[in-house]
A and B are shown apart, each in its own frame.
Chain A
Amino acid sequence: MQASRARLFKEYKEVQREKAADPDIQLVCDDSNIFKWTALIKGPSETPFEGGVFQLAFSVPEQYPLQPPQTGEICLDILKNAWSPAWTLQSVCRAIIALMAHPEPDSPLNCDSGNLLRSGDIRGYQSMARMYTRLAAMPKKG
């Protein structure tokens, strides 16, 4: 408990310091609870996610950093069995950006996109991903 708190404070300071270094990631800590974080991640350019801003809610367990932070449904090994306490919230965000740029068809969260990729339909995958990006991660028009 104490350790996770100290660690999160350290990460908070690190985030403040590196704001300029990582313009695609915006990590905000809840005003009253250091165990609740919100990340805003820009979709990487030259991917179907470009132009989208993805909001992630991190819920940090008390055993952090021995246990990974909990977030929405992301099939990312480092958020599960490949987690290492040396990772930080910031590096998790970077890994998510990397996952957006290099999708993992063998471990898809969305089976459809996984199937499209595995069958070699890159265009199909991209247009579907673009559609979801527009639906979920872009400001509504009108």
Chain B
Amino acid sequence: MVTDSITNASIPMATSNPKDFAKKKRANRSAKLKQCKLDARREQWLSQVKNKGCKEEADGLVHARDASEEPRREKREVSTHHYSDSDSPSNSPTSPTSSVLGSNSSGTNFTGSSRGSSSSSSSGGSCSGSLAGEDDDGCLDDWEAVADALVGTDDKQQQSNPISDPPLVQLGSHPELGHRKGSGVEISRPNLDRVEKVQRATPNSRAWKPDDAFRPESLPNLSKQHSLPMNSGRQYGCGGGVWVCKKVISAPSSCPICCEDLDLTDSSFLPCSCGFRLCLFCHKRILEDDGRCPGCRKQYEYEPVKGEASLDGGSVTFRLARSCSMITRS
């Protein structure tokens, strides 16, 4: 990953993004492969939530998030440690000293990142360090939403950056990495202001506003963390989460039957005229079962389905072409 980002650094932002996109896609796929492990984690988390109080719940969330993060980067070990260090004390208001310690540890991490960004020709190590820290914070909102959202984050990110974020425009001319890093630092100076700006410019961008009725109660309360001295990176993390989580709303991301992510093939697969979408796997299972569309309960027609499959192949290439154009456009 480090070498990756360094090669990226020499390329302008627009071209470095496809790479990032591909990277995220890859990560998403491997995340799917880890589904089995994740399930076990979730179950563990579930029982934790049931058995214990609020704090444990938050910790459980962190663990679960860690699990989903796992395949994403090699630097994870470091970043998650940093993360849980700074997070768990912040959730327990009764231990101010430990929270100070926790924030200190995150503080060193962030100064590391700022050091890295102050010089545009920064070393690979500090680059990835800041990246990992930032990304980890970006997952604060909901680990699963992030996993769901990874597929097409980048185009949104590109769209929202120049419009909603004046300070980022100037950074946008930097390489992708420098831009990210730079924003992480930038935020530590005018941080409240900036976060507000982001939120104002993209009002729907949060997956869940704090007062949103749909916001899962199990999510940790971010306002607590805002009150900490070392909150700049974290707040930016919320902003980062904004870009990531926006995807969840805009794209139908998962199969309504099995709740797995829809990949490109799945999302261009339209087996029934009623418009009910599902993944190919579930569609096959239903054909083996009673063969009725879950949306309208009409029988799936076998022959047209086959025709659809070949048609589907065509639309896949179309989709790919479109995603290419998305990348080149910005």
Q: Which residues of A contact B (CB under 8 A)?
A: 2-3, 5-7, 9-10, 12-13, 16-21, 29, 31-32, 34, 63, 65-66, 82, 84-86
Contact = CB atoms under 8 A, between A and B. Distances in A.
Nearest to B279: A3
B39 A6 contact: yes
Contacts of B228: none
Contact of A16 (B218, B259, B260): B218
A31 B50 contact: yes
A2 B36 contact: yes
Interface of B: 35-36, 39, 42-43, 46-47, 50-51, 144, 213-218, 254, 256-260, 276, 281-282, 285-286, 289, 292, 294-295, 297
A6 B255 CA distance: 11
A107 to B, nearest CB: 18
Nearest to B218: A16
Contacts of A9: 39, 42, 46, 259
B215 A66 contact: no
B47 A31 contact: yes
Contacts of B292: 84
Given A3-B282, A12-B46, A66-B289, A82 B35 contact: no
Nearest to B258: A3
A66 B286 contact: yes
A21 B214 CA distance: 9
A7 B46 contact: no
B216 A17 contact: yes
A6 to B, nearest CB: 5
A63 B215 CA distance: 30
A111 B286 CA distance: 35
B297 A82 contact: yes
6 contacts: A2-B35, A2-B36, A16-B217, A29-B46, A66-B286, A85-B286
A82 B216 CA distance: 31
Contact of B294 (A5, A18, A85): A85
Nearest to A11: B259
Nearest to A9: B42
B216 A84 contact: no
Given A84-B297, A86-B295, 7 more contacts: A2-B39, A5-B39, A6-B35, A6-B258, A16-B217, A32-B47, A86-B276
Contact of B213 (A12, A20, A84): A20
Contacts of A10: 254, 259
A8 to B, nearest CB: 9
A17 B256 CA distance: 17
Q: Which 7 A-B pairs have the closest CB atoms?
A: A86-B294, A10-B259, A3-B258, A85-B294, A84-B294, A85-B257, A17-B216
Contact of A85 (B46, B51, B213, B282): B282
A6 B46 CA distance: 13
A17 B297 CA distance: 28
A86 B255 CA distance: 10
A4 B35 CA distance: 13
A31 B256 CA distance: 24
Contacts of B289: 63, 66
Nearest to A86: B294
Contacts of B46: 9, 12, 29, 34
Nearest to A20: B213
Name, among B43, B259, B281, B297, the residue most crowded by chain A CB atoms within 10 Å (CB to CB): B259
B217 A19 contact: yes
Contacts of A16: 216-218
A16 B50 CA distance: 12
A140 to B, nearest CB: 29
Contacts of A13: 144, 216, 218
A20 B213 CA distance: 8
Contacts of B47: 31-32
Contacts of A31: 47, 50-51
Nearest to B257: A85
Contacts of A84: 292, 294-295, 297
A75 B256 CA distance: 26
A137 B213 CA distance: 30
Contacts of A63: 289
A21 B213 contact: yes
A17 B51 CA distance: 19
